[in-house]
Amino acid sequence: MICGGALCIERCACSQPKTATDNVVLLVLQYDIDSLKGSVPKDSDLEFTFLDSLLDATTAILAVDHEAVCLFVNDRCDESVLNILHKHGVKYIVLRCAGFNNVDLPTAAKFGIKVARVPAYSPEAVAEFTIGMLLTVIRKYHKAYNRVREGNFLLDGLLGFNLSGKTVGIIGTGKIGLLTGKILANGFNCKVIAYDPYPSPLAQGYGITYVDALDDLLKASDIISLHCPLTDSTEYIINDNSISKMKKGVVLINTSRGALIDTYALIRALKSGHVSAVGLDVFEREQAYFFADSSSKVIHDDSFARLLTFYNVFMTGHQAFLTSEALKNIADTTIQNLRNLEATGTCPNIVDKSS
């Protein structure tokens, strides 16, 4: 199997003869390598080849002699990539994440390539990170840290506000959205409202109240946190029109998918002051920069560079998932998906064009 996202190529050695590349390992993201290797049962014949490049049309050829490809969020698996994978006999694509928007599912189905994902690894990891990011942007921890290290103990410019009593809107109430709402409602005494086309029966017990329409949430919320998947219907769900319906001074948090937000619309709202603070763990064109050291490079994406200049934007590099518990769950589920696919041709976490 080939794993992109600076990860690995794995294969099931049981069905193909060994080649000279079976045990080649390029150490890149050590935490992923360690977690995957640690989750392979002793009686398994799965073997990994680790690569340091994202999967795209130029790197897909590296999947030759492998049966499966393991992807992360920024790997590209469109029609051109799938054509190459199919040509070289790849049968399975396993995602180390819940989202699958980067895979062309109809084309995969046409080629008979099975696709599986990790539907839930550690919702607590992302929910807790979301709360930390929210507290950072409203209480300015990052700015205070830098000041104190420089011997500056002035409090000017560090004014924040209480979370208690504020209305927080949660867009998307899967496991992460529900847990985020629960922490805010029960831990911080927030009024938590939510919008989701498919309401969860757990929400009420978590202290979350659904609104009938997205516009209702936009108009009522002091803080809005995004927890929905990236689909055709949610792409740019935050845009000029939706921002215009929000309260002046609203705080936005996104730990889900970058393309939920129209970056240019967000920049306009920041410049006008309509949005007062933003926490982003994702960016719509992050694949060109995230999970790599670009400190000695020029950021050519002007909108990304512009975002980084705002004093009230706090950005991290897609790390909300990064806890030891989450990595173990991701690795365990990924390995189990592979074993099920090899044994039966399917698994409980299969995704297809109807998903």
Domain count, the chain: 2
Residues 280 and 310 in one domain: yes
Answer whether 0.85 is exceeded by the pTM: no
Residues 108 and 181 in one domain: no
| Sign of the torsion angle spanned by Cα atoms 308, 314, 320, 324 | positive
pLDDT digits (tens, 9 = 90+) for 26-35: 233 666 677 7
Lowest mean pLDDT among 4-18, 46-60, 280-294: 4-18
- Asked if the model's pLDDT at residue 73 lies above 50, the reply is yes
Q: Which helix (H) or strand (E) holds 133?
A: helix 123-139
Q: Which of the residues are catalytic?
A: 257, 286, 318
Tokens of 160: 């924040």
Mean pLDDT value of segment 152-171: 97
Residues 98 and 156 in one domain: no
* Cα angle 128, 129, 133; round to 5: 120
* pLDDT tier for residue 42 given thresholds of 50, 70 and 90: low
* pLDDT tier for residue 12 given thresholds of 50, 70 and 90: very low
Res 8: pLDDT = 44
Residues 68 and 110 in one domain: yes
Residue of 328 and 18 predicted with greater confidence: 328
Mean pLDDT value of segment 285-304: 88
Query: DSSP assignment, residue 247?
Result: P
Q: Could you list the residue range(s) of the whole structural domain that residue 136 is in?
A: 123-315
* Cα angle 51, 57, 62; round to 5: 35
Query: DSSP assignment, residue 186?
Result: I
Residues 43 and 191 in one domain: no
pLDDT digits (tens, 9 = 90+) for 189-206: 999 999 999 999 999 999
User: Whole-angstrom Cα distance, residue 10 to residue 6?
Assistant: 13
Question: Across all residues in the chain, what is the average pLDDT?
Answer: 87
User: CB-based contacts of 341: which residues, under 8 Å, 6+ apart?
Assistant: 68, 91, 92, 94, 114, 116, 347
Q: Which helix (H) or strand (E) holds 139?
A: helix 123-139
- Asked if the model's pLDDT at residue 21 lies above 90, the reply is no
User: CB-based contacts of 259: which residues, under 8 Å, 6+ apart?
Assistant: 230, 235, 236, 284
What DSSP assignment string belongs to 256-290? S-GGGB-HHHHHHHHHHTSEEEEEES--TTGGGTT
pLDDT digits (tens, 9 = 90+) for 74-124: 888 999 999 999 998 899 999 988 888 889 999 999 999 999 999 888 999
